[in-house]
Amino acid sequence: MGLLALGTPLEWPEAKKRADQVREWGIKQLLEIWNKAKGKERDALLWGDEVEYLVVTYSKSNERVLLSLRQAEILKALAADQELAKAGGCVPALQDTTSSEKSHSLPVFHPEFGRFMLEATPGKPWGIGFRELLDVEPDMKLRRKIAKDHMRDDEYPITLTTFPQIGIPGQFTEPFYPVSGPRLRSQFVPDEIANPHIRFPTLAANIRSRRGRKVQVNVPIFRDVKTPNPWKDPTVNYDLHDWPEDDDVRNGAAPDNFIHMDAMAFGMGSCCLQITFQAKNIDEGRQLYDQLSPLGPIMLALTAATPVYKGFLAGTDVRWNQISRAVDCRTREELGEEPLKNNRWRIPKSRYASNSTYISNDSRLRQEYMDPNLVYDPEIKTKLMDGGMDDRLATHFAHLFIRDPIVIFEEDLQELDLTKTDHFENIQSTNWQHMRFKPPPAENNIGWRVEFRSMEIQVTDFENAAFSVFMVLVTRAILSFDLNFYVPIKKVDENMERAHQVDATLNEKFFFRKNPFPLRPSRANTAFGDDSRPGSAIPSRAASPGAVEDEYEEMTINDIINGSQDGTFPGLVPIVESYLDSVNVDVETRCELATYLSLISKRASGELDTTARWIRNFINAHPAYAQDSVVGDEITKDLIEAVVTIGEREASSKGFADTGIPGVEKFLGKFRSGRADAAEVPQQPAAALENGV
């Protein structure tokens, strides 16, 4: 999560006074990077994934599953072992490297917002080779194993996006802390839920303070047959009088039919799967940023994994809007609830939102695709243009820079250091858009990068590897075929909303470009020119662009991923396959990649359930579920048990090609027929996982 500098953080009233200084220095640092790196060429096509985990305490004998708050201790243990490993010491847990011949460096573990979270990345970015794509899944499994090896026996790293019982009344963390602390002022979660590093509680407190009330994270309740109508969130306490913010719920913050949440942890406590790509130069980076943007909502819907909040089934399937609301620092003026007086702009979106700009120099980028109401700081734009930046990119950064820096360390304001990027990153890394354009950092040899941020984390590493590898192949196809996915950016916003609907993959349609092939001749013409290939039915391209509205139509996820029934849209998986046909991939690698593409394809067609659907089915089939939208202790424990068991089985097998989440049917069978006997649930001997240090 960005920088973790140490120092004295300013409380909001003080930070606010220094915001202009941070922006001004940030822009100077950005121009410094720009001037140094704009001509950078021939950077390698590297990429890297980020996997986030929840840490839960679970044991067969314990009735309840809790969130473990031992992130700091776990990270410390991991760091100590990694130091030892680097120094050539013998650390059994770290020795079992990937199954492929080529050994990759050890994974890296990072802190995250939640004190019950971990993040892990590969030790170094992945390269361009196709065989290397096969190292991703073993590396992800290794990360999980190493993480587990540094936890207590009853702690597990799991890759659910959200903990089903976060914020329920009573105990849901280990250890227990009372709610209603000074930082979050939440009536549902304790301050101790956030990473204790001063950056995180300050971020939460200053967002609340800037906003002038607590964040308001309301998710519609999923209405089941026995769910009361209207439904009133029974966990809301209207009689709390610890903080002024306790008035929020008395003033209507918790409307009927919504699960009400009131703290950053409900959003930033969610796990996702992010992929960062390095481009060969800035132009290619800008192209990737634009072409991947319209895929954000599609991949969000396809990876849907978030059907439960605070012990209730939600009426939505993904985490996105909850995170957006959980860090929404906009004031009433900025939200348009009061006339502008102290603030400069009405701001239509939270700082966590789908992106609002396209940035490429691509001649196919039409003005009509841009957001006509984009808010940006004209003075900052002028400064950037005076510094030599072109209009489009200057607009992008001037848009990001409408935000205030939220966490400012006193020590950093003494002197501007142009060899650093800290002030720029302060604003940049708290603009959590679904794409991020990452300029090269100051001092090392890294190129222009683009981050794809919308995907939800999946239960197994097979799935996480599949989605990562798929996105890598999509980017290769984009570059190789010069694909064109442009639709108006407002349609991407609309798609983002649609991605939230329950089973959006099956039931929703998304605005998508009808013809992804370039107007200008390119290799795509040959790759798709032959009748046996998907896409052959694509109508010949018009010489001059027609109405923008004719360029796109509403398609299902199945159309977009697998190709439309009438053959007019080729489908992303067939495009990737054509790309693979056009390059040299050995048979074995191709076969392995096919298992990943098959997962993506079957998820899109509905042959395999999304993770969200799987969780919903699990809950629905559970004997303790009363069809009233309540996800209680017993269901939560069994769900986590299923997830832990799946993880253990996956660790000990080679992969689960084609089955999606393994063992689902078995687990569901168990719960459909009432309480299972333990023998039905496949178990790995715990010892297999506990040979660490």
Which partner from the list Mg ion, ligand ADP, none does 446 bind, CB cut-off 5 to 8 Å by kind?
ligand ADP
Q: Is 451 in the site for ligand ADP (CB under 6 A)?
A: yes
Q: Which of these segments, 165-173, 200-208, 444-452, 668-676, binds ligand ADP (CB under 6 A)? A: 444-452
Which partner from the list Mg ion, ligand ADP, none does 515 bind, CB cut-off 5 to 8 Å by kind?
none
Do residues 187 and 179 touch, judged by C-beta distance below 8 A?
Answer: yes
Which partner from the list Mg ion, ligand ADP, none does 49 bind, CB cut-off 5 to 8 Å by kind?
ligand ADP
d(CA 461, CA 441): 30
Peptide bond between residue 175 and the one before it cis (omega within 30 degrees of 0): yes
Q: Which residue's CB is nearer to ligand ADP, number 197 or number 649?
A: 197
Report CA dihedral (545, 548, 551, 552) to the nearest 10 degrees. 170
Of 126, 484, 2, the closest CA to residue 288 belongs to: 484
Q: Is 446 in the site for ligand ADP (CB under 6 A)?
A: yes
- The CA-to-CA distance between both ends of the chain, in Å, stands at 28
Residue environment code for 225-251, b if the CB has 16+ CB neighbours within 10 A, otherwise e: eebeeebebebbeeebeebebbebbee
3-state SS class at 322: helix
Number of residues that bind Mg ion (CB under 5 A): 3
Among positions 186, 195, 274, 293, the unique one binding Mg ion when judged by CB under 5 A: 274
Q: Which of these segments, 85-93, 266-274, 381-389, 626-634, binds Mg ion (CB under 5 A)? A: 266-274
CB of 411 to ligand ADP, least distance (A): 22
CB of 1 to ligand ADP, least distance (A): 6
d(CA 189, CA 179): 5
Q: Which residue's CB is nearer to ligand ADP, number 274 or number 316?
A: 274
Q: Is 49 in the site for Mg ion (CB under 5 A)?
A: no
Interacting residues with Mg ion between 487 and 546 (CB under 5 A): none
CB of 271 to ligand ADP, least distance (A): 13
Rounded to 5 degrees, what angle do the CA atoms 148, 153, 158 make?
A: 40
Residue environment code for 252-278, b if the CB has 16+ CB neighbours within 10 A, otherwise e: ebbeebbbbbbbbbbbbbbbbbbbbbb
Q: Which residue's CB is nearer to Mg ion, number 50 or number 334?
A: 50
Q: Is 48 in the site for ligand ADP (CB under 6 A)?
A: yes
CB of 582 to ligand ADP, least distance (A): 24
Which partner from the list Mg ion, ligand ADP, none does 556 bind, CB cut-off 5 to 8 Å by kind?
none
Burial class (CB in 10 A: 0-12, 13-18, 19+), 309: buried
CB of 4 to Mg ion, least distance (A): 9
Among positions 449, 476, 491, 622, the unique one binding ligand ADP when judged by CB under 6 A: 449
Q: Which residue's CB is nearer to ligand ADP, number 114 or number 534?
A: 114
CB of 383 to ligand ADP, least distance (A): 25
d(CA 384, CA 390): 8
CB of 110 to Mg ion, least distance (A): 5
In sequence order, the 6+-apart residues with CB closer than 8 A to the CB of 527 are 481, 533, 578, 579, 581, 582
Do residues 267 and 324 touch, judged by C-beta distance below 8 A?
Answer: yes
As a residue count, the chain comes to 693
3-state secondary structure 108-134: EEECCCECCEEEEECCCCECCCCHHHH
Which stretches within 197-275 are classed as H helix? Answer: 199-211, 247-250, 265-268
In sequence order, the 6+-apart residues with CB closer than 8 A to the CB of 254 are 218, 233, 236, 260
CB of 453 to ligand ADP, least distance (A): 8
Do residues 554 and 510 touch, judged by C-beta distance below 8 A?
Answer: yes
d(CA 405, CA 12): 10
Q: Which residue's CB is nearer to ligand ADP, number 26 or number 122?
A: 122
Q: Which residue's CB is nearer to ligand ADP, number 251 or number 445?
A: 445
Q: Is 456 in the site for Mg ion (CB under 5 A)?
A: no
Q: Which residue's CB is nearer to ligand ADP, number 2 or number 169?
A: 2
d(CA 660, CA 595): 10
Among positions 125, 164, 181, 535, the unique one binding ligand ADP when judged by CB under 6 A: 125
Among positions 22, 50, 104, 180, the unique one binding ligand ADP when judged by CB under 6 A: 50
Q: Is 5 in the site for ligand ADP (CB under 6 A)?
A: no
Interacting residues with ligand ADP between 225 and 254 (CB under 6 A): none
Which partner from the list Mg ion, ligand ADP, none does 165 bind, CB cut-off 5 to 8 Å by kind?
none
- Binding characters for ligand ADP, 267-296, by CB under 6 A (x = yes): -------x-x-x------------------
Q: Which residue's CB is nearer to ligand ADP, number 2 or number 7?
A: 2
> Whose CB is nearest to Mg ion?
274
Interacting residues with ligand ADP between 100 and 119 (CB under 6 A): 110
Number of residues that bind ligand ADP (CB under 6 A): 16
CB of 495 to ligand ADP, least distance (A): 23
CB of 287 to Mg ion, least distance (A): 20
Q: Which of these segments, 40-48, 300-308, 372-380, 401-409, binds ligand ADP (CB under 6 A)? A: 40-48
Q: Which string of DSSP letters, residue by residue, matches 397-454?
A: HHHHTTSPPS--BGGGGSS--TT--HHHHHHHTT-EESEEEEPPPSSSS---EEEE--
**Cα–Cα distances in Å, from 504 out to 222, 278, 294, 561?**
14, 31, 16, 14
Q: Is 122 in the site for ligand ADP (CB under 6 A)?
A: yes
CB of 275 to ligand ADP, least distance (A): 8
Q: Which residue's CB is nearer to ligand ADP, number 295 or number 573?
A: 295
Q: Which of these segments, 47-55, 384-392, 566-574, 623-631, binds Mg ion (CB under 5 A)? A: 47-55
Among positions 49, 50, 422, 425, the unique one binding Mg ion when judged by CB under 5 A: 50
In sequence order, the 6+-apart residues with CB closer than 8 A to the CB of 353 are 324, 432, 433, 434
> Half-sphere exposure of residue 460, counting CA atoms within 13 Å on the CB side?
29
Q: Which residue's CB is nearer to Mg ion, number 267 or number 534?
A: 267
- Binding characters for Mg ion, 85-124, by CB under 5 A (x = yes): ----------------------------------x-----
Of 387, 273, 292, 300, the closest CA to residue 31 belongs to: 387
DSSP state, 538?
A: P
Q: Which residues make up the interface to Mg ion (CB under 5 A)?
A: 50, 119, 274
Q: Which residues make up the interface to ligand ADP (CB under 6 A)?
A: 2, 46-50, 110, 121-122, 125, 274, 276, 278, 446, 449, 451
